[in-house]
A and B are shown apart, each in its own frame.
Chain A
Amino acid sequence: MSALSIDPVLGWRLWHVRLHGDEYRLESFTWHHVSWPPKRRFEATCTLHREAAPVAGHECGIYAFTTRALAEDLLRRYTGIRHRYGREYRELPPVRRGRPIALGSVSLWGRILAREKGFRAQYAYPYELHLIGGDDRIAHELRDRYAVDVSS
């Protein structure tokens, strides 16, 4: 049986910030070219379970960590190659120029499967972002597009 609540869960995660046409958009960190829609909730889908995601016993859903530190740990091990992570650096690594990354908090709601270090959620929307490897112009653009606070 699941616990019921009306307050969204706040998780932490990373996004790539990439150009879609002439617009900078948040994009999934682990799935290539999966863009988060501005001013609309992002909905989990699964090739197997479709809109029923996230499903217990599977790995589908929108992922987020419980803490900022865990999201930073992932960034420290980021090599720039999808699904390949290296050793953990003590400092956050320099992001390649023109390849900005957003670190931030994210509201999660709907059906959520919680583990000890994070969540798999049905719905999500960014709450607050910190832009790494970008500039003020991109931060301003993301702030306008997603209507959330963006620091850089």
Chain B
Amino acid sequence: MDIGVPETEREIEITPLEEPVPAPAPVEAPTEEPAPA
């Protein structure tokens, strides 16, 4: 991938407050089947 010549390179440091990665879906608690009457 041609992103340009190395001579133009400058460094940036990014420290996000929260990483832009989706949180895993919460695990749903198993629901109990209603007991037969």
Contact = CB atoms under 8 A, between A and B. Distances in A.
Interface of A: 1-9, 13, 29-30, 39-41, 56-57, 63-65, 74, 107-120, 123, 125, 127, 146-148
B24 to A, nearest CB: 6
B22 A63 contact: no
Contacts of A117: 2-4
Contact of B9 (A5, A7, A113): A113
Given A3-B12, A114-B12, A109 B19 contact: yes
A147 B20 CA distance: 11
Q: What DSSP secondary structure best describes chain B's contact surface?
A: loop
Nearest to B22: A147
B20 A107 contact: yes
Interface string B1-16: 1111110111111111
Interface in B18-33: 19-25
Nearest to B3: A118
**Pairs of residues from A and B, 9 with the lowest C-beta to C-beta distance, nearest first:** A118-B3, A115-B4, A147-B22, A2-B11, A109-B14, A107-B20, A117-B4, A116-B4, A112-B12
